[in-house]
């Protein structure tokens, strides 16, 4: 009995001289296998490009990213634009004593409608819109710089502990456990009280260092866990075999492969640091006048919430919107960089 062979599909439209592209299942030899179109080629992709595409499919993450960008741009250029258009700087107090009092949004001193102060003024007659935008500069700066400080410390500390292992790892992580047992905010308050600066800029720089120097603990644990899973991979063993030094293996070969979790946690750390700064400003240990942050503005506004509620509503809503957007963006990045987590 002869074995049945697959037959080529009939193509009545074929004309003499046409090139027949034989599918692989009908090919008799490798020479008969031709691509459908010789001009077609496979376009490669990368992890970051795939993550970007997955991120764009997440509507909440895209909304958060757009809102963060808009708030950042408005905070950077807004005060200068307002000063040029109206003459009101964030710390400008009117020379006329009759104007040194709170005005409601869109209200002139005579009670008529006006576009000069769309968010009203504070107790000293300063424009609330300019102060809210200046507060955005300070709050975002505190969150970003303190997060960068925590990243530098946490990534280096966790990578060294995870790669060296053994007693060094145990000793380094026990130190982290001891710091974990201490109240986070209390440590920051102690640092700010011990090294208090007399100038607002000096106090702001101290706030960057204080928040960053105590917020690296979780980052160190995350990076350590990633390094433990990577240090026995083939590319690390190959680097050892070729005589690459230990610091170069850690920071050139292993740390770049931990950037996914690091970026996600950094995005989620910024709103945490901003909330901590707002709490410290409320207690009087944060940003000092004449500088203002969303936390210090909320601290001033809560004292007059029953009489002048706009002094609390506008900085509070702006800060809440930014924090929500950062959290949405962080969740979206986590799902984009780790698609298995998003499917669960």
By percentage, how much of the chain surpasses pLDDT 70? 84
Pair 136, 71: CB distance under 8 Å: yes
CA torsion sign for 16, 21, 25, 31 is positive
Q: Confidence band (pLDDT; 50, 70, 90) for 33? A: very low
pLDDT of residue 97 exceeding 80:
no
What average pLDDT does this structure show over 31-44?
A: 50
Q: Confidence band (pLDDT; 50, 70, 90) for 77? A: very high
What average pLDDT does this structure show over 205-211?
A: 82
Q: Confidence band (pLDDT; 50, 70, 90) for 344? A: very low
How far is 74 from 80, CA to CA, in rounded Å? Answer: 10
Worst-scoring range by mean pLDDT, 25-34, 96-105, 138-147, 255-264? 25-34
pLDDT of residue 51 exceeding 50:
yes
Residue 110, burial from CB neighbour count under 10 angstroms (0-12, 13-18, 19+)? exposed
The total of other beta-carbon atoms located within 10 Å of residue 83's CB is 15
Q: What is the pLDDT of residues 289-300, one digit of tens each?
A: 778 888 888 888
Is 127 strand, coil or helix? strand
pLDDT at site 32: 45
Tell the residue number behind the tokens 């895209």, with chain if given: 62
Pair 296, 226: CB distance under 8 Å: no
pLDDT of residue 121 exceeding 50:
yes
Pair 339, 54: CB distance under 8 Å: yes
Of the two residues 155 and 95, the one the predictor is more confident about is 155
How far is 56 from 4, CA to CA, in rounded Å? Answer: 51
By percentage, how much of the chain surpasses pLDDT 90? 14
- The answer to pTM > 0.85 is no
Rounded to 5 degrees, φ, ψ at 54 are -65, -35
How far is 204 from 141, CA to CA, in rounded Å? Answer: 10
Q: What is the mean pLDDT of the chain?
A: 80
Pair 304, 122: CB distance under 8 Å: no
Pair 212, 144: CB distance under 8 Å: no
Please, which residues have CB within 8 angstroms of residue 229's CB and are 6 or more apart in sequence? none
Worst-scoring range by mean pLDDT, 9-18, 178-187, 242-251, 253-262? 9-18
pLDDT of residue 179 exceeding 80:
yes
pLDDT of residue 48 exceeding 80:
no
pLDDT of residue 342 exceeding 50:
no
Query: Between the ranges 15-19, 126-130, 180-184, 336-340, where is the mean pLDDT highest?
Result: 126-130
pLDDT of residue 27 exceeding 60:
no
pLDDT at site 74: 92
Q: Strands of the chain (E only): list them.
A: none
């Amino acid at each position: 009995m002869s074995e049945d062979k697959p037959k080529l599909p009939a193509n009545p439209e074929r004309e003499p001289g046409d090139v027949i592209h034989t599918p692989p299942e009908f090919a008799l030899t490798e020479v008969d296998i031709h691509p459908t179109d010789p001009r077609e080629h496979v376009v490669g992709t990368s992890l970051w490009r795939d993550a970007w595409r997955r991120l764009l499919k997440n509507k909440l993450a895209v909304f958060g990213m757009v809102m963060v960008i808009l708030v950042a741009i408005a905070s950077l250029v807004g005060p200068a634009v307002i000063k040029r258009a109206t003459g009101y700087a964030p710390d400008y107090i009117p020379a006329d004593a009759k104007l040194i009092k709170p005005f409601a949004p869109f209200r002139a001193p005579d009670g008529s409608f006006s576009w000069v102060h769309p968010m009203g003024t504070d107790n000293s007659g300063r424009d609330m819109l300019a102060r809210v935008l200046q507060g955005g500069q300070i709050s975002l700066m505190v969150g970003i710089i303190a997060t960068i400080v925590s990243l530098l410390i946490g990534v280096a500390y966790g990578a060294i502990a995870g790669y060296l292992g053994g007693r060094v790892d145990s000793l380094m992580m026990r130190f982290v456990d001891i710091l974990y047992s201490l109240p986070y905010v209390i440590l920051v308050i102690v640092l700010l009280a011990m090294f208090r600066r007399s100038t607002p800029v000096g106090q702001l720089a101290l706030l960057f260092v204080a928040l960053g120097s105590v917020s690296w603990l979780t980052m160190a644990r995350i990076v350590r866990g990633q390094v433990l899973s990577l240090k026995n991979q083939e590319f690390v063993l190959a680097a050892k075999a070729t005589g690459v030094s230990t610091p170069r293996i850690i920071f050139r070969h292993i740390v770049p492969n931990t950037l996914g979790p690091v970026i996600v946690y950094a995005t989620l750390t910024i709103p945490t640091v901003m909330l901590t700064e707002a709490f410290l400003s409320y207690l009087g240990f944060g940003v000092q006048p004449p500088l203002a942050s969303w936390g210090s503005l909320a601290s001033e506004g809560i004292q007059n919430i029953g009489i002048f509620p706009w002094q609390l509503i506008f900085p509070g809503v702006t800060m809440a919107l930014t924090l929500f957007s950062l959290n949405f963006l962080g969740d979206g990045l986590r799902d984009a960089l780790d698609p298995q987590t998003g499917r669960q």
